[in-house]
Amino acid sequence: MYQRIVIKRFQTASKTTQENFETKAADLRKRALEVKKQDEGLKRELEVKERKQQQVLKRSQRALKGSVSHTMLRQISKG
């Protein structure tokens, strides 16, 4: 009889431990998914910022080219 009680308590403890483990594993999976979504969002934001910087750089380069060309044409016409 005592042995049955001990076995039953052990089984109950094991079941509780397993349930706690499964709950914690589910929580970790949920958190990992949240972090992954955050990472993807940050990655998209970074890509948008990089594209905008590239556009600004291209506009600046075009403006500089135009300015240089204009200055060179002015000097040629003076010369």
What is the pLDDT averaged over residues 56-68? 89
pLDDT band at residue 2 under the 50/70/90 scheme: low
Q: pLDDT (tens digit, 9 = 90+) per residue, 14-57?
A: 888 889 999 999 999 999 999 999 999 999 999 999 999 999 99
Whether 9 has a pLDDT exceeding 90, the answer reads no
Per-residue model confidence (pLDDT) at position 48: 97
* Helix, strand, coil percentages for the chain (3-state, nearest 5): 95, 0, 5
Per-residue model confidence (pLDDT) at position 37: 97
Amino acid 74 reads R
